[in-house]
Structure 1
Amino acid sequence: MDVTTLLIILFVGAFATYFSGDKWAPKVALLISLAAFAGTICLLSQYNSGQEISYFKIWISKPAVFISFYADGLTLAMLLLTTALIPIIIYSSFGNNYKNAKAFYALILFMTFAMTGTFLATDGLLYYVFWELSLIPIYFIALIWGNGDAEKRKKAVVKFFIYTLAGSLFMLIAFVYLYQKANSFLIGDLVKANLSSTEQFWIFLAFFLAYAIKIPLIPFHTWQAKVYQKAPTVGTMLLSGIMLKMGLYSVIRWQLPIAPLAAKEFMSLFIGLGLVGVIYGSIVALRQKDLKKLLAYSSLAHVGLIAAGCYTLTLDGLRGAVLQMIAHGFVVVGLFLVAEIIYRRYETRTISEMGGIRSQSPKLTSMFMLLVLASVALPSTFNFVGEFTVLYSLSQINIWFALLGGTTIILGAYYMLKMFQHVMLGETNVKIFNDVTFNEGLSLVLIIAVLFFFGLYPKPIMDLISPSLENIITLINRIN
């Protein structure tokens, strides 16, 4: 299978979904997403058999820009995360009725196409095109199908769009400058560019602005909570489960190998910035009354720890960060799905207006509890493997980094269990809470199965990503 086949499936599938009409759009989108997942499995099989997964063709002759795609173990891990979550996200949305459903599901697939291209691209300009393309569908998904006051939603979404676009422009300027030095946008040539320490600092900073906004990191997070709250739950899942991973992946793939001197010189500063996000996100989550906003700040805390792992510049740090990226993707989608299931019954996201769900829906209560335990990194869950590895890498740099990073487990356990108590236990709400439907239950079971399977047996993922990360560490350490 050619690597471009996966992109073609998603691109053509988006149009096929739109032209299938509102009635058939959800089913067609689900079939296309399953086909994309099957395509990723096929690419993984080829990779494991020793085949090189790449595509290379001239796109623009001057300046030299190539349609260049390449998939190593790290890329395949991100593709597996993306194409495994998209069918679950689409299937879980079947409990909602969306106006103009054909456009809604077409935009989901087009966004998946753009995110997939971002992970595969190895030409800087092509990568930038896919990076920006992914912003367009989520803008319309959040703006048109979001919830709450229309004016407030518009304000939040427009801020997100402009903020993200502005940060990305710095990355584009960095690529243009790098082209002058390397006469190429290809990542293999960019990492060989003869950059001084000053040049590396500015390149590193330009990339950081784009990635810090996308992830997001403190203090570039101001768009996150409101957009997560105002977007439809499918949009929130796309943002938190997959799109923010584009920024974290790009730190490892692009930023660190291209500007290793700057990364080493300012390592402690950027680790500290990630850890500030851990503490800040956890403390603010404690004060939230809206369930989606609480989960948004919880996500902010977790990605802060992942970013800190990336900036350790160690194999354990990068490996732990990637493992946690995948685990976080599944658990946060599961948590937001539970929030949506509750909203479908109670028509509220205010925690104080919930309660007593356990007596009416023991199945949902049990599955929600498992997701909460995974979120707080209970041993035997996938999140524990990632967080432990990151904390171990931080302890190798400075034991205080590990202690501060560990607060995400302590504070996370406190506010997540407190939230669970208010939402699921206590007095029964006056409204009847119908038990989970088949598609809701199946979506949650699939997510929980992944979290516990790889929590008990993470070796397949570790074996997949380790060779790629070792190559990246070699690139980072090429200049001592």
Structure 2
Amino acid sequence: MTVSILIFLPVIAALVVLLFKNESAKHAALFFSVIELAIAGVFLAKFIPDASSQFGIDVPWIPKMGIYFKAGIDGISMIMVLLTTALVPLIILSTYKHQYSNANAFYALILFMQAGMLVVFTALDGFLFYVGWEAALIPIYFISGLWGGENRVRITIKFFIYTFAGSLFMLLGMIFVYLQSPSQTYDIADLYRGARMVSGHSSLIFWAFFIAFAIKMPLFPFHTWQPDTYTESPTAGTMLLSGIMLKMGIYGVIRWMIPIAPEGFLSWQNVAMAMAVIGIVYASVIAFTQTDGKRLVAYSSIAHVGLIAAGIFAFNQQGLQGSMIQMLSHGINVVGMFFIWDIISRRLGTRTISQLGGIAKVAPQFAIAFLIITLGTVALPLTNGFIGEFLLLNSVYQYSLWVAAAAGLTIIFGAVYMLRMYKNVMQGTTNELTLTFADISGSEKLVLGIICLLIIGLGIYPQPILHISAAAVDNLIYIVKSSGKF
């Protein structure tokens, strides 16, 4: 069994879902996404946590141009595969209380997007990676543009232009490195070797990749598309963007940018670190001023991703391991938080924090789930957010004490604005709007229950996740540092 089944099953499923109507399309999409998760579970059970790439496929695609359909899973990829295949069923299930026009197209696009993201996370050929990168962008453009909010068209066009422009930089960088590779292929190992033969262009190669990945993450100052897009997209689209798609940028930095351009990264490491830390502080300060709950979570996400980026740019074992588990934890937490605000918005018709209050008195189960997700987001010990942020801050501390002090503000600020948000929404007295708030039931209870279990389970025992990626992370560090440029 090869990784191709993970890549192509969502494509086939999407085509099948297009044949269904309304409720049937929703059930079919959930069924296929659960099957995909089960297949990922089989891969995980058979996975050997060493540095090798497993379950590989390597077949000629356009061999005259050195392009092969080559993909596989190592410890780094496995974390991302688990994230993608676990969150998509939850995202689909979270839509069960919604009614969408052309529901078959909506759910088919989600499955198409899943396929594109899995290509990105498993590709071992640069051209295939780029195809997956662009393939994942197209479905979210239509999801946001067709089913989004009032300003969806303008915001979605801005998002598309940002990400597509960044992708072109990456493509130019990929082609340039390909032309330098000894074997004239897009194989990842050849690209690693090819870039190191042209050290005089290392900074240009670095920036070609960095711009694309920084936009996708998003990293300050390339973040301006994110809050508007997250706010205007339908909740499922926001979950896909924040829970999984932004991880494509982080993954690209780890898998492609640093190993391909180690000398360029070393030259610009301080600049990249400064951008990450500025983004942490900037987004945290802006989050304090937000009155819309969904928008507050969007800025919170920028701050948390900034810390992940800072850990990666410190480039040590703790930082890369911390980034791996924090990508998983952030995906779980942010999907849960956006679902919380989807429930509030659907029940009450508003996301304005000042109009809420006292919901815990009339919806205790909802209040408990909201609190657990909030505590995971602020990295309380024994929740999933803690171990990742601990490792990331440890790695940044090894880079610089003062940078670590600034990066640590994400924890302090995050605790303040997230707990203040919870207090204003859930505590106090009820008002005319919140008095009739109904507690969670059915699919809502199932989604939030699974998310809360993951938050607590990973917080208490994160070792299995760290074990999966440890050998691959160590091997990546060895590859980069053995280049002689680092």
Stretch deviating more after TM superposition (352-361 or 288-297)? 352-361
Is it true that 1:458 corresponds to 2:462 in the alignment?
yes
CA distance in 2, matches of 1:356, 1:339: 15
Which residue in the other structure is 2:404 paired with? 402
| 1:429 positional shift | 2.8
Letter in 2 for 1:476: V
2:203·2:267 contact (CA, 8 Å) conserved in 1?
A: no
Q: Structure 2 CA distance, aligned partners of 1:231 and 1:19?
A: 25
Gaps of 5+ in 1: none
Residue number among 469, 474, 481 corresponding to 1:477 in the alignment: 481
Structure 1 CA distance for aligned equivalents of residues 362 and 458 of structure 2: 31
Return the alpha-carbon distance in structure 1 between the equivalents of residues 357 and 97 of structure 2.
22
Output one character per residue of 1:184-216: Cα deviation in whole Å (capped at 9) or x when no partner.
Answer: 111111111233433111111000010011000
Out of 369, 377, 380, the position equivalent to 2:379 is 377
Residue of structure 1 equivalent to 2:23: 23
SS of the residue aligned with 1:191? Answer: helix
Partner Cα distance (1:238, 1:437) in 2 = 23
Counterpart code for 1:179: Y
1:192 matched to 2:185? The reply is no
Alignment-derived partner of residue 439 in structure 2: 435
- The whole-number CA distance in structure 1 between the counterparts of 2:251 and 2:227 is 22
- Which residue pairs with 2:103 in the alignment? 101
> Secondary structure in 2 aligned to 1:56?
strand
**Partner residue in 2 for 1:449:** 453
Q: For the residues of structure 2 that align with 1:452 and 1:221, how far apart are their CA atoms?
A: 30
Output the CA distance in 1 between the equivalents of 2:414 and 2:162: 28
C-alpha spacing 1:205/1:18, structure 2 compared with 1 (3 Å): same
1:10 is aligned to: 10
Aligned to 1:326: 328
Do residues 352 (structure 1) and 351 (structure 2) align?
A: no
Partner of 1:88: 90
1:436 shift after superposition: 0.5
CA distance in 1, matches of 2:326, 2:279: 16
Measure the CA separation in 2 of the matches of 1:81 and 1:242. 7
SS in 2 for 1:54: strand
> By how many angstroms is 1:397 displaced?
1.0
TM-score normalized with structure 1 length: 0.98
**CA distance in 1: counterparts of 2:298 and 2:281, whole angstroms:** 14
Out of 201, 204, 222, the residue aligned to residue 202 of structure 1 is: 204
Once the two structures are TM-superposed, the CA of residue 6 in structure 1 deviates from its matched residue by: 1.3
What amino acid sits opposite 2:455 in the alignment?
L
Alignment deviations for residues 230-252 of structure 1 (CA, whole Å, 9 cap, x no partner): 00000000000000000001100
Deviation at 1:23, TM superposition (A): 2.6
Please give the alpha-carbon distance, in whole angstroms, between the structure 2 residues aligned to 1:181 and 1:383: 41
- Whole-Å Cα distance in 2 between the matches of residues 143 and 343 of structure 1? 20
The answer to whether the Cα contact below 8 Å between 1:46 and 1:53 also exists between their aligned partners in 2 is no
The residue identity in structure 2 corresponding to 1:177 is F
Say which SS state the counterpart of residue 95 (structure 1) adopts. coil
1:176-191 correspondence runs (5 A)? 176-182=175-181, 183-191=184-192
Matching residue of 2:218? 216
**Residue of structure 1 equivalent to 2:419:** 417
Does residue 127 of structure 2 align to residue 128 of structure 1? no
3-state SS of 1:19 partner: coil
**1-side partners of 2:170 and 2:144: how far apart?**
25
Contact 2:117 2:245 in 1 (8 A): yes
Distance 2:54 2:414 in 1: 41
- Matched-pair contact (CA < 8 Å) for 1:241–1:328: yes
In the TM superposition, what is the alpha-carbon distance from 1:132 to its structure 2 partner? 0.4
- Please tell me the root mean square deviation across aligned C-alpha atoms, in Å: 1.2
Contact kept in structure 1, 2:356 and 2:431, CA below 8 Å = yes
CA contact (8 A) 2:312 2:323 kept: yes
1:180 alignment partner AA: L
Aligned residue pairs total: 477
In structure 1, what is the Cα distance between the partners aligned to 2:197 and 2:219? 27
Q: Do structure 1's residue 44 and structure 2's residue 44 form an aligned pair?
A: yes
2:186 is aligned with 1:168: no
Query: Which residue matches 1:262?
Result: 264
Aligned equivalents of 1:44 and 1:434: distance in 2? 39
Deviation at 1:49, TM superposition (A): 8.7
Question: What do residues 14-35 of structure 1 show as CA deviations (whole Å, max 9, x unaligned)?
Answer: 1111112223011000010001
CA deviation string 1:363-412 (max 9, x = no partner): 11111011111111000011100000000011111111111111001000
Match of 1:157 in 2: 156
Task: Report the counterpart of residue 241 of structure 1 in structure 2.
Answer: 243
Please list the CA deviations of residues 136-182 of structure 1 after superposition, one character each: whole Å capped at 9, or x if unmatched: 110111111112x2xx2211110000110001000000111111100
Are 1:9 and 1:35, in contact at CA under 8 Å, matched by a contact in 2?
A: no
In 2: Cα distance, 1:443 partner to 1:179 partner: 44
Q: Report if the CA contact (8 A) 2:49-2:467 is conserved.
A: no
**How far apart are the structure 1 equivalents of 2:466 and 2:449?**
23
- The one-letter code of the counterpart of 2:191 is L
Match of 1:66, SS state, is: strand
AA paired with 1:455?
G
Structure 1 residues 215 and 49, CA, compared in 2 at 3 Å: closer, same or farther?
closer
Distance in 1 (CA, whole Å) between partners of 2:431 and 2:115 is: 42
4+ residue runs over 6 A deviation: none
Asked whether the 8 Å contact 2:292–2:353 carries over to 1, the reply is yes
User: Cα deviations across residues 99-139 of structure 1 (Å, max 9, x unaligned)?
Assistant: 11101000000000100111111110111011001011101
Question: Displacement, 1:426?
Answer: 2.1
In the aligned structure 2, how far is the partner of 1:49 from the partner of 1:264?
29
Matched, 1:285 2:284: no
Distance 1:337 1:354 in 2: 17
Per-residue deviation, 1:3: 1.3
Aligned counterpart in structure 2 of residue 54 of structure 1, from 53, 56, 61: 56
Give the Cα–Cα distance (whole angstroms) in 2 for the partners of residues 198 and 25 of structure 1.
54
Q: Which one-letter code corresponds to 1:69 in the other structure? A: A
Q: Secondary structure at the match of 2:58?
A: strand
1:46 positional shift: 2.0
